[in-house]
Amino acid sequence: METPIFKKTYDFLKEFYIFQLDFPKKDRYSLGQRCETYLLGVLEGIMLASQTSKDRKYLILQQASGKLDMLKVFVRLAGDIKILSDSRYIKCQNQIQEIGKMLGGWMKSTHEDQF
């Protein structure tokens, strides 16, 4: 069964993949690839956390959150140097923010369960 955060992240990954195809070639294989790698890391962390025991879940979610923060920086850079159009940049930032809120809520509930 897919969790809402998994579905949101998976759908964003599909959307970003299409955006990345429009990156200039030199940027597609550097900045675009880096964004994709971090986004895949977030998705992996979400999957792993959903399948692991409560005592390890928080640490995995923290790592996924760190990757999401790095993704946010690289997407911002792509927007600032106009690799992403303004509309695509805003769409990416909105998706990242929504995933971040979901991830933060999950982390909070997991952390509270430990005490």
pLDDT of residue 16: 97
pLDDT of residue 112: 75
Q: What are phi and psi of 81, to 5 degrees?
A: -95, 15
pLDDT of residue 63: 97
Question: What residues in the chain have per-residue pLDDT under 70?
Answer: 1, 113-115
Q: How far apart are CA 68 and CA 7, in angstroms?
A: 15
Q: Does domain 4-113 have CATH number 1.20.1440.60?
A: yes
pLDDT digits (tens, 9 = 90+) for 75-96: 999 999 999 999 999 999 999 9
Contacts of 51 (CB under 8 A, 6+ apart): none
Give the closest residue to 5 by CA, choosing from 39, 56, 47: 47
Q: Give how far Cα 64 sits from Cα of 23, 87, 93, 94, Å.
A: 25, 26, 17, 18
Q: Give how far Cα 97 sits from Cα of 28, 48, 53, 90, 91, Å.
A: 23, 21, 26, 10, 10
The domain segmentation of the chain, as residue ranges, is 4-113
pLDDT of residue 54: 86
H-helix or E-strand spanning residue 32: none
Q: How far apart are CA 39 and CA 20, in angstroms?
A: 12
Average pLDDT in the chain: 94
